[in-house]
A = this chain, B = another copy of it.
Amino acid sequence: MKKEIAIGIDIGGTNTDYGLVDSEGKCYVKKSLRTDVSENAETFLDILCDDLKKSITEKNGNFEIKGIGVGAPNGNFFTGKIEFAPNLKWKGVIPLVGMIEERMNLPVVMTNDANAAAYGEMIYGAAKGMKDFIVITLGTGLGSGIVINGEMVYGHDGFAGELGHTVVDPEGRMCGCGKKGCLEMYASATGIVKTMHELFDTRKESSSLRKIERPKLTSKDIFLAAQTGDTLALEAFELTGKYLGIKLADAVLFSSPEAIILFGGLARAGEFIFKPTKKYMEEYLLPIYKNKVSLLPSELDKENAAVLGAAALVWKYTVKK
């Protein structure tokens, strides 16, 4: 019998990864193509789909391809279109799902990257068996995927679940979106660096990080310094967890999830970020919620997480059980 396989495609501004994944999350083929060398989506999809077909042909004797899942910035689940994605060269509205279906003759489902991460946790990861959970992706920005009663929350237009732009401080840090005080300016790789800069200016403690040229300071530097016990680096994590924890308490009051899962680079700082986040989340919860919501790390393999998330869409939507 042939093995049932889902194709997961993760479209990013620089690279696009794809993988052939089975229903247990095993990734058989994994490839990466440059996104930014193609001036328009047509050219890129011609290259991508040719490559995909080759990969499939090589395995065709053994695999039965069930469908294609796509995670893409600003990917709209309802319309199948990428709409004005700031990180992609291709401008305007791109009917990506239709364009891939035409080329591949397979069912295609698309969602945005943070929602793809949430499908990944649902099918393969930390949220297996859960019906109510939230995934927070802590990368350069902060994304979120909210699952209620087993279904992703899309809202009336497909744009729900943008917790990165909820407000920490109405007069706070300027965000790329044009608003002030968005959560992703505090709780993200970008955010913790900004917090570190503020601590340099407002505190006197010595720190190995003061030696690094300001524009070159990264969240990884802060993590490494925290591991050596650097007071200011530890405080930057404490503050980042405070900002995040208080907003997660708001999210719990909204949908009362069983768990919140932290995904992405900053989440891999482990207890440095989990401990203060949990502390402040609990502090700002109503008594009825206290100690009932688990704060968990992603259980997706780091290297394949985005491709697994995209592939999960296929098992969720196109395969009849």
User: Which A residues contact B (CB, under 8 angstroms)?
Assistant: 83, 130-132, 146, 148-149, 151, 153-163, 165-167, 170, 177-179, 246, 249-251, 253-258, 283-284, 286-289, 292
Residues from chain B with a CB closer than 8 A to the CB of A157 are 256, 292
B131–A166 touching, CB < 8 Å? no
B179 touches A284 (CB 8 A): yes
CB closest chain-B residue, reference A289? B159
Contact B254 A160 (CB under 8 A): yes
Contact A254 to B163, CB < 8 A, known contacts A148-B148, A178-B287? yes
Q: Are A167 and B246 in contact (CB under 8 A)?
A: yes
Which of B130, B160, B250, B287 is the one whose CB lies under 8 Å from A177?
A: B287
Contact A177 B146 (CB under 8 A): no
Provide the bound-state CA to CA distance between A288 and B93, in Å. 13
B286→A179 contact, CB < 8 A: yes
- A177 and B255 contact, Cβ closer than 8 Å, known pairs A132-B156, A157-B292: no
Q: Pick 24 A–B contacts, CB within 8 A, sort by A.
A: A83-B288, A146-B255, A148-B160, A149-B154, A153-B256, A154-B256, A156-B256, A156-B257, A156-B258, A157-B292, A158-B256, A160-B253, A160-B256, A161-B255, A165-B253, A166-B250, A166-B254, A167-B249, A167-B284, A170-B246, A170-B284, A179-B286, A254-B254, A254-B255
Task: Give this chain's copy count.
Answer: 2
Most buried by B among A151, A160, A258, A289: A160
A146 touches B246 (CB 8 A): no
Closest B residue by C-beta to A133:
B156
Query: Smallest Cβ distance from A94 to chain B, in angstroms?
Result: 16
Beyond the given pairs A149-B151, A156-B257, A167-B246, 17 more chain A to chain B contacts, judged by CB atoms under 8 angstroms and listed by A's residue number, are: A130-B156, A131-B156, A146-B255, A148-B148, A148-B160, A153-B254, A153-B255, A153-B256, A155-B257, A157-B292, A160-B253, A160-B255, A161-B254, A166-B253, A170-B284, A179-B283, A254-B255
Least CB distance, A30 to chain B, in whole angstroms: 32
Q: A180's closest neighbor in chain B, by CB?
A: B284
Chain B contacts of A257 at CB under 8 A?
Answer: 155-156
Question: A250 to B250, alpha carbons, bound, how many Å?
Answer: 9
Q: In angstroms, how far is the closest chain B Cβ from the Cβ of A58?
A: 41
Contact of A286 among B130, B148, B162, B255 (CB under 8 A): B162
Chain B contacts for A177, CB-based, 8 A: 286-287
- 7 nearest A-B residue pairs (beta carbon): A155-B256, A160-B256, A132-B156, A166-B250, A156-B258, A162-B253, A159-B256
A170 to B239, CA, bound (A): 13
Residues on the B chain within 8 Å of A162, using CB = 253, 286
A194 to B161, CA, bound (A): 33
User: Could you tell me the distance in whole angstroms from the C-beta of A93 to the nearest C-beta in chain B?
Assistant: 12
Let me know if A159 and B288 touch, CB within 8 A: yes
Q: Of residues A246, A254, A283, A289, which shows the largest number of chain B Cβ atoms within 10 Å of its Cβ?
A: A254
